[in-house]
Amino acid sequence: MLQIKDLTVEVNGKEILRDLTLNIESGEVHVLFGPNGCGKTTLLMTILGYPGYKVKKGCIIFKEIDITHLPTNERVKLGMGMSFQHPPEIRGVKLGDMVKITLGKEKREVDKEVIALARRLNISTDFLSRDVNLGFSGGEVKKSEILQILAQSPEFIMFDEPDSGVDIENIELIGKIISELLDRNKMPSKRDRAGLVITHSGSIMQHLKADRAHVMIDGQMACSGMPYEITKNIMKNGFEKCVESCKN
């Protein structure tokens, strides 16, 4: 579904990603680990085509189409979506209206559907009448992001730290919803979607049933392997030692 080849990316004249290669097949979920500031969010923003992330070298192929220089809206139309680490506050736009527009259905059916989606995330209806992310707590911002992704239901979904700042009970809820969104409850042969999830915590991992994990260091993929082993290795030994042992 997604092929990234030799990708080098600059932000504000500074090289952040270097010769990065990544392949995600349809039906797969990959997890991306790495220390703060190594370039994880930069990779996701570049895949989405966010302005300011300049591809200096390499290419991004999505569903066999070269999207390296396509604008974000075209990429989204092709079927990708993202739950942001730090989404913007949008004054004057109600969360419920945002979700309705994203669902893109007839007015009569849509109100019920928005409420049903919000219920799945334990989001109260008065929350839907607030401006998107304005004054939301850390955990509420994450739920608002997941709610919008649920409505959009894209084929390829990137989650940038969906669990950060989320309490234990809600991590379980968010983990289950992400797992459903990414077809994890279906048999492998019936999975059509794919995902790339950035996380710093092990607790969401048990819900993701990821296929592969990667460790990014200084804008490069330093090692890849089985999610359970990589997670255990990082928790026990830290990023650098994990990468060292990967190479040996």
Ligand X SMILES: Nc1ncnc2c1ncn2[C@@H]1O[C@H](COP(=O)(O)OP(=O)(O)OP(=O)(O)O)[C@@H](O)[C@H]1O
Residues that bind ligand X (CB under 6 A): 11-12, 14, 16, 34, 36-42, 85
Q: Where are the alpha helices (DSSP H) in 54-157?
A: 72-78, 95-103, 107-120, 125-128, 138-152
Q: Residue 174's binding partner, choosing from Mg ion, ligand X, none, with beta-carbon cut-off 5 to 8 A by kind? A: none
Q: Residue 11's binding partner, choosing from ligand X, Mg ion, none, with beta-carbon cut-off 5 to 8 A by kind? A: ligand X
According to DSSP, residue 89 is labeled P
Question: Minimum CB separation from Mg ion for residue 37, in Å?
Answer: 8
Q: Residue 233's binding partner, choosing from ligand X, Mg ion, none, with beta-carbon cut-off 5 to 8 A by kind? A: none
Question: Minimum CB separation from ligand X for residue 14, in Å?
Answer: 5
Which of the residues 72 through 111 are near Mg ion (CB under 5 A)?
A: 85
Question: Minimum CB separation from ligand X for residue 40, in Å?
Answer: 4
Q: Residue 49's binding partner, choosing from ligand X, Mg ion, none, with beta-carbon cut-off 5 to 8 A by kind? A: none
Helices 138-152, 95-103: axis angle to 10 degrees equals 20
46 lies in the binding site for Mg ion (CB under 5 A):
no
Question: Minimum CB separation from Mg ion for residue 86, in Å?
Answer: 8
Cα–Cα distance between 219 and 158 in angstroms, integer? Answer: 18
Total residues binding Mg ion (CB under 5 A): 3
Cα–Cα distance between 220 and 151 in angstroms, integer? Answer: 33
Cα–Cα distance between 111 and 97 in angstroms, integer? Answer: 9
- The residue (of 12 and 248) whose beta carbon lies closer to Mg ion is 12
From 32-40, 45-53, 162-170, 220-228, give the range in contact with Mg ion by CB under 5 A: 32-40
Question: Minimum CB separation from Mg ion for residue 102, in Å?
Answer: 23
For residue 163, what are its two tokens? 């669990």
Q: Which burial class, exposed, middle or buried, applies to 192 when counting CB atoms under 10 A from its CB (0-12, 13-18, 19+)?
A: exposed
Name which position in 41, 144, 148, 231 contacts Mg ion (CB under 5 A). Answer: 41
Cα–Cα distance between 185 and 171 in angstroms, integer? Answer: 18
Whole-Å CA distances, 123 to 35, 42, 119: 32, 30, 6
Contact 165, 138 (CB under 8 A): yes
Question: Minimum CB separation from Mg ion for residue 113, in Å?
Answer: 31
Cα–Cα distance between 68 and 49 in angstroms, integer? Answer: 8
What residue type is 18 in one-letter code? R
- The residue (of 11 and 55) whose beta carbon lies closer to ligand X is 11
Q: By CB under 5 A, name the binding residues for Mg ion.
A: 40-41, 85
